[in-house]
Amino acid sequence: MELRKSVVFGICAVAVFGIGYAVYWDYLRQTDPEFRRKLKKSRKKAAKQKKAAVEESKSKTADFIRGAVEEVTKESFPTDVTAKEKFFMEQVAKGETLFAGGESGYHDAALCFYKALKVYPNPVELIMIYQKTIPEPVFNLVYEMMSVEVKKKQAEYFGNFPPKEMNVRIEEFSQSSTSDDYIRRVLISTKDFAPGDVIFTEQALASALDPSLENGEFCSHCLKELNGADFSDDSDLFGAVYCSKSCQEKAMAEYETLLFTTRDDDSYSNEAKLKELVKSGRVKYPLMIARFLAKMVHEETQKVATGVEEEYSTWDHIERLRFLAVQPSDKESKEITLLRELFKTKVPGMEEFISEERYLMLKGKLMYNAYGIYTEHNMGAIKENLEETMRSSQPTVIGAGFYRVASYIAHSCNPNTETRFPDNNNVLSIVATKPIKVGDELKISYIRVGDRNYSNRRSELETKWRFKCTCIKCMEEAGEVGRSA
């Protein structure tokens, strides 16, 4: 839901979902040529009536806004396209009449415009139109209503996510006692499990093979071993190979077409540069980030095309995840420039969206949260790239995946769960390794424990995830038990 983005991230982010706008804009022009004219007219009308806005009591306005959002949340809106359009036009017309009547109508006018937003396929686009067409005080009221709604929805996030059938919930603790006051979030089981039980299974948000394996042995999309299957697309500059028609179609729709299909296939094209960076640099994350961003665009396009909207967008899901603070270096600068150049020609506004801060944050989230993906068949040792501090307790990692729920599992050297990849692809199952009771926190080992001693384990965790492990096992071995609070 992108109107939230506009509130949270400001005007730059608003422009990011350009593809979505373009699609809807066409639709709008075809179905209602009157629309723009009307709004233009109302702008003139409003300009004529322009008076200084009367200072309203702030608390009265705030009460109105809260009440309005509350009311609109409970209201049910039309769902089919024709009814939506009719409702939309009614609200906009009513809003115009109200604000044209002067300040006394501003509150109610804002409410109409806010309701109109609820049925409009692309709220962000509409907000930009509002900004240009309705009187500022009314616009500010609409904007405030959105802000309140966004905050409310964000506050309710962990009430709605993860879905009940995943058998876990997320609990938050604020760590204000220490110098860095971050919120610690942990995953709690909502059912009893015996060792061997699958607690939940989830799809990757983004995944990528180790670049050395992009050679026709494993599926570029789901990471499954190909066993001779060979689905590929001539138009794909990256030269990805897939295990099935369905993987190929998904990859092409979600990211590959956007990232790597171009008419300009000379070696200086941005697509060729990204391919080169991934394959020669032997690092997964630039590709994972590119795929992730492409998928966000896809999600927006789908939303506009189908009118179906997930309650929370991909960006909402990663917002609360922990991340490593990545220091910007030349390497990152080059990656950022490359991705900006690549997306610039393809998605309006994306160039601005890929700021250094956002890129580093995304990279830091991948580095902290991604899991190593392994298959039982692939016993050849694949060296872990030091750059890749991806969670993995297995030596035979073939790639990495980024997951919405499993990311919240904290580390322990004596964990009660482990990762499995039952289909030998990027679909992750979290499996109990000990008896787990309702209310128990799930823990997983980010590293291979084996017979390594605590100082050895701690040093790996400290290097890769920058925390000192204080799990019971480490504390006991280090003779620190009893000393901690």
Residues that bind ligand NAG (CB under 6 A): 453, 455-456
**Phi-psi bin for 69: left (phi > 0), alpha (psi -120 to 50), beta?**
alpha
C-alpha Rg value of the chain to the nearest Å = 25
Least distance between ligand NAG and beta carbon 413 (Å): 13
Least distance between ligand NAG and beta carbon 183 (Å): 33
Task: Confirm if 342 and 32 have CB atoms less than 8 A apart.
Answer: no
Which CB atom, from 21 or from 454, has the smaller least distance to ligand NAG? 454
Nearest Cα neighbor of 279 from 209, 326, 341 is 209
Least distance between ligand NAG and beta carbon 236 (Å): 45
Which CB atom, from 418 or from 460, has the smaller least distance to ligand NAG? 460
Give how far Cα 435 sits from Cα of 165, 188, 199, 340, 410, Å.
19, 14, 11, 48, 17
DSSP for 412-443, please give it.
Answer: -SS-SEEEE-TTSSS-EEEEESS-B-TTPBPE
Nearest Cα neighbor of 191 from 471, 443, 446, 442 is 442
Task: Confirm if 461 and 467 have CB atoms less than 8 A apart.
Answer: yes
Least distance between ligand NAG and beta carbon 357 (Å): 39
Closest residue to ligand NAG using C-beta atoms: 453
Which CB atom, from 348 or from 395, has the smaller least distance to ligand NAG? 395
Least distance between ligand NAG and beta carbon 453 (Å): 4
Least distance between ligand NAG and beta carbon 448 (Å): 13
Largest CA distance in the chain: 80
Which CB atom, from 346 or from 458, has the smaller least distance to ligand NAG? 458
Least distance between ligand NAG and beta carbon 478 (Å): 8
Least distance between ligand NAG and beta carbon 455 (Å): 4
Task: Confirm if 78 and 157 have CB atoms less than 8 A apart.
Answer: no
Which CB atom, from 252 or from 461, has the smaller least distance to ligand NAG? 461
Query: Which residues have CB under 8 Å from 61's CB, separation 6+?
Result: 107, 141, 144
Number of H helices, E strands in the chain: 20, 10
CB atoms within 10 A of CB 441: 15
Least distance between ligand NAG and beta carbon 152 (Å): 51
Which CB atom, from 73 or from 456, has the smaller least distance to ligand NAG? 456
Least distance between ligand NAG and beta carbon 473 (Å): 14
Which CB atom, from 197 or from 384, has the smaller least distance to ligand NAG? 384
Share in percent of the chain as helix, strand, coil (round to 5): 50, 10, 35
CB atoms within 10 A of CB 163: 10
CA distance 441 to 186: 7
CA distance 12 to 355: 10
Nearest Cα neighbor of 145 from 299, 42, 6 is 6
Which CB atom, from 104 or from 453, has the smaller least distance to ligand NAG? 453
**Phi-psi bin for 482: left (phi > 0), alpha (psi -120 to 50), beta?**
left
CA distance 192 to 467: 30
Length of the chain equals 485
Nearest Cα neighbor of 333 from 306, 315, 360 is 360
SS3 389: coil
Which CB atom, from 49 or from 459, has the smaller least distance to ligand NAG? 459
Least distance between ligand NAG and beta carbon 456 (Å): 5
Which CB atom, from 450 or from 482, has the smaller least distance to ligand NAG? 450
Least distance between ligand NAG and beta carbon 472 (Å): 17
**Phi-psi bin for 227: left (phi > 0), alpha (psi -120 to 50), beta?**
left
Which CB atom, from 404 or from 457, has the smaller least distance to ligand NAG? 457
Least distance between ligand NAG and beta carbon 390 (Å): 22
Which CB atom, from 309 or from 477, has the smaller least distance to ligand NAG? 477
Which CB atom, from 212 or from 456, has the smaller least distance to ligand NAG? 456
Beta partners for 443?
410
